Every structure is written in C-alpha cells, then in structure tokens.
Structure 1
Amino acid sequence: MVEVRYLFDPLCGWCYGAAPMLDRLRAEPGIDLTLMPTGLFAGDGARAMDPGFAAYAWANDQRIAALTGLPFTEAYRVQVLDGATRFDSGPATLALTAVRMTEPLREIDALKALQRARYVDGVDTSDVEAVGAVLAAEGLREAADLLTGQSAALAEAGRARIAAASAEMRRFGLRGVPALLAGNGDRWRPIRSDALFGDTGLLIRTLEAAASA
C-alpha cells in the first residue's frame, strides 16, 4: 500500500484541473489517498475579488482549460469572477472538514461537487450558505448542518487540518498547490505536481518508487 497525501485548496484552479487524476488515484487498490487542505486562500490568504484579480484568474483558468479540457464556463466568469466580492476558500475548506467528520469516504466527492459548482455552475463558493447548499444537494446533509451551524468543534478541526498541511508544506519546501507526497510510515517524498496532468501509469509507478525508496 502506497500512502499519498494530496495538498490542495478548493479554490485553486490547478487543483480543479487535477480532479481527473485524483479520481484515477482513488480508484487504484494500492493507493491510500488522504486529502490535506492547506488553507492557502483562507484566513490571511483570502482577498477581495476586484477586477484586476478577476482578469488574472480568468487568464490562468484558460491555460488550465487548454491543458486539461475541463470547463470554466461563462456562468463562472460572470457570477463568480465578476459578481463575487471575496476570494476566500475558508467556507469550502470547512465544508470538506465537515464531510471528513461525518462521511469521510465522500470527501473527494464533496471536493468535486464544490469545484463543479464554482467552475461550471457559477456558484460563489466563498459564501458559506452557498457551500452548505452544495453539500445538501450532494446528500451530505449532516455535514451541511455542521457547516452552517458554525460548530466550534468544526472550526477547531479545520484549523488543525490546515496546520498539519502547512507543516508538510514547510517541511518539504513546497510553495504552491496542488502538491503530492508519497510515502510509507515515516518516509515521505514530494512528487512533482506536473505529474498530476500526465500519464496515470507513470504517476502510479513514481508514487510506488517514492514509497519504497
């Protein structure tokens, strides 16, 4: 069994682009995949959604679309980039933590639903009520209630997850997301993030080699 840690932020366009590979990795019987949200765009990393940043994000999104074939729709451009006031992954990060606390096997499904809601349906996933509605629509009602109820236990669990992911980023000198770590027990190695956009078989062999080194 190869343990893989996936470091990401739910508002990261490149992390959305890596979603197909994430699906392939979790389908592999020899891969034990753990999500580690870094909080890169939450807290101090959040910012206002102004026209300059919206234009930068849209240009970056077009590069991701060209590489991956994934959609970034007009609804996303108009309703999120031009229509939202904040770029803040805090609500979505807490939502994923709520899912981990209630139905942990569905955390990747929840991440995909949040990404689809944002980039395809044009839902502002910086808004906690909107994020709760996405969870509820996915049948994750307990997680949605935990999120919108502003649970102190959820807030603490969210802080702990971000702290753990941030510690891994510092440990391996990682500066951005998405990022992968592969290992077994106490031995871990970073994997080049561009592997998430290449050949699945090659990535799996790379992960296996890193875990056995």
Structure 2
Amino acid sequence: MNTLHYIFDPLCGWCYGAAPLIAAARTLPGLKLALHGGGMLAGAQRLRITEQWRNHVRSHDARIAQLTGQTFGSAYSDGLLCDTTAVLDSAPPTTAILASEAIAGRGLDMLHRLQRAHYVEGRRIADKAVIFALAGELGLAGDAFAAAFERLSGAATAAHFSDSRSWLARLGAQGFPSFALERADGTLERIEASRFYGDVAAWTHYLAERAPASAADPGELGQSCGLDGCAI
C-alpha cells in the first residue's frame, strides 16, 4: 500500500485551495492518505483578527481562488474577516480532525467540513460549539466524538503538531500544504502539488503513475469525499 502524506492546517488558505486534489487522491485504489496537522496558528501563534491580518489574507484568497477555482463566501470575506472579536486557533479544529479519525476513520471528512465552515460559511471553527455542530452534521456519534475530542485535546494535539513539524523537517519543506509520497517499498518522495492547482485530472494521473496500485492493494473505488464543502 502506498501512502500520500499530507501536511496541512485547517486555517491555511492554500490548503483549502488544495482540497480538490486531496478529494481526488482519496479515490485512487491502493493509495492511503495520512493527515498531519501542523498547528500553524496554535499556541503562541493563535491570533485575533485584525485589519492587518484581514488585508494579508484577502490578497492570498484572491490568488487561491484564481488558481484553484475554490470559492470564498461573503459570510467569510465580509463577515468573519471583519470580526475583530474572532480568534483563529488551529488546535481545536485539528483536535476535531483527530477525533473524527479516531472514532470513524473520517478525519478527512471533518477537515473538508471545517474548511467549508470557515471559508464559505464564515463560522468560528475554533469554537467548541461549532465543532460539535459540524460533527453532528457528519453523523458522528455525539458521546463518542465528545469523549475522543476531550481525550485528544491539549497534550495529544500538541504531540501531533510536533510530529507534523518533524515531517516538514524530514521533507525539507517550509510551509503548508506539503505532500510526500511513501511507496510500499519505503521510499519517500516529496511532491510539489502547487503545479497541479486547478488541474485535478493531471494530479490524479501523476499520482497513479508514481504510485500504481498492485494486485495486492485492496483499494476501494468510489470512496470519495464531496466538497460541499497560507503558507506559514
């Protein structure tokens, strides 16, 4: 089995831009996805929205939309980004992704839902109430999700961030998103995915060539994630 390692942050705009590539990779037989949340705005880096941050992000958002075709909702652009009481913190949404993966193998579904909630619906995805509402929308069992979220909060999420930063160092990468293909024989190849923004077909073809499924791979066709749904 080949593994595509994806180093991301739920509050990284370029990771939102890469969402169609991730959804496409998920459909390839014999390719497993490994999610590594990097904690871009966690701990001392968490911040409250300011005019300076808003102007910085909007310039990136325009470029992301142009290159990837991803849309940014007015509730985000004209709502959340103008709310100077909103706090951006990568830790709670990353914990939600870890919890979703732990109880149902649905970390990627949670990531996509968080991205849509933030970038389209303008919701505060660092707020626990919002996170639990999104888990409910995904059909994740309330008690099980709550227990996993509490267990994986704090030290466990911090350890995950540390491991993800180790992956960045291992790859010689500087920011999010970063990708690496680990083949079944253990070889590891860093992939520059930005050249595939807006061209999902070329990305899918590239991955299929670089990591073809073998007869022993139990890949499941049709296991796809709908997208109803910045660099460091």
> Is contact 1:79–1:124 with CA below 8 Å preserved after alignment?
no
Report the Cα distance in structure 1 between the residues aligned to 2:39 and 2:196, rounded to whole angstroms. 20
Q: 2:203 — aligned with what?
A: 200
Deviation at 1:39, TM superposition (A): 1.0
Cα shift readout 1:132-165 (whole Å, capped 9, x = no counterpart): 2111222123464236xx6244433322321211
Cα shift readout 1:94-125 (whole Å, capped 9, x = no counterpart): 11011122111x11111111111111111111
Deviation at 1:174, TM superposition (A): 1.0
Deviation at 1:11, TM superposition (A): 0.6
Deviation at 1:202, TM superposition (A): 4.2
- Does residue 89 in structure 1 map to residue 90 in structure 2? yes
Cα shift readout 1:3-59 (whole Å, capped 9, x = no counterpart): 110000001111111111111101000211111111122112222211110111112
Report the Cα distance in structure 1 between the residues aligned to 2:211 and 2:192, rounded to whole angstroms. 14
Worse-superposed segment, 129-138 or 88-97: 129-138
Tell me: CA distance 1:7–1:207, structure 2 relative to 1, closer, same or farther (3 Å): farther
Tell me: CA distance 1:206–1:161, structure 2 relative to 1, closer, same or farther (3 Å): farther
Name structure 2 gaps, 5 residues minimum: 213-232
Report the Cα distance in structure 1 between the residues aligned to 2:133 and 2:14, rounded to whole angstroms. 24
Amino acid at match of 2:154: A
Residues paired across the two proteins, number: 206
Cα shift readout 1:79-100 (whole Å, capped 9, x = no counterpart): 3211143221111111101112
Q: More helix per residue: 1 or 2?
A: 1
Worse-superposed segment, 44-53 or 112-121: 44-53
Report the Cα distance in structure 2 between the residues aligned to 1:101 and 1:143, rounded to whole angstroms. 10
The CA RMSD over aligned residues, in Å, is: 2.0
Report the Cα distance in structure 2 between the residues aligned to 1:28 and 1:68, rounded to whole angstroms. 21
> Is contact 1:72–1:119 with CA below 8 Å preserved after alignment?
yes
Worse-superposed segment, 49-58 or 196-205: 196-205
* 3-state SS of 1:132 partner: helix
Q: 1:49 — aligned with what?
A: 49
Amino acid at match of 2:156: A
> Is contact 2:98–2:152 with CA below 8 Å preserved after alignment?
no
Report the Cα distance in structure 1 between the residues aligned to 2:121 and 2:168, rounded to whole angstroms. 31
Worse-superposed segment, 118-127 or 183-192: 183-192
Q: 2:5 — aligned with what?
A: 5
Q: 2:174 — aligned with what?
A: 175
Worse-superposed segment, 76-85 or 168-177: 76-85
Report the Cα distance in structure 2 between the residues aligned to 1:146 and 1:55, rounded to whole angstroms. 38
Report the Cα distance in structure 2 between the residues aligned to 1:128 and 1:79, rounded to whole angstroms. 20
Which gives a bigger RCO, structure 1 or 2 (Cα 8 Å, sep 6+)?
A: 2
Tell me: CA distance 1:156–1:68, structure 2 relative to 1, closer, same or farther (3 Å): same
Q: 2:99 — aligned with what?
A: 98
Deviation at 1:70, TM superposition (A): 1.3
TM-score, with length taken from structure 2: 0.81
Q: 2:226 — aligned with what?
A: none
Worse-superposed segment, 76-85 or 176-185: 76-85
Worse-superposed segment, 137-146 or 61-70: 137-146
Percent of residue pairs bearing the same amino acid type: 30
Q: 1:35 — aligned with what?
A: 35
Report the Cα distance in structure 1 between the residues aligned to 2:88 and 2:157, rounded to whole angstroms. 18
> Is contact 1:39–1:90 with CA below 8 Å preserved after alignment?
yes
Amino acid at match of 1:92: P
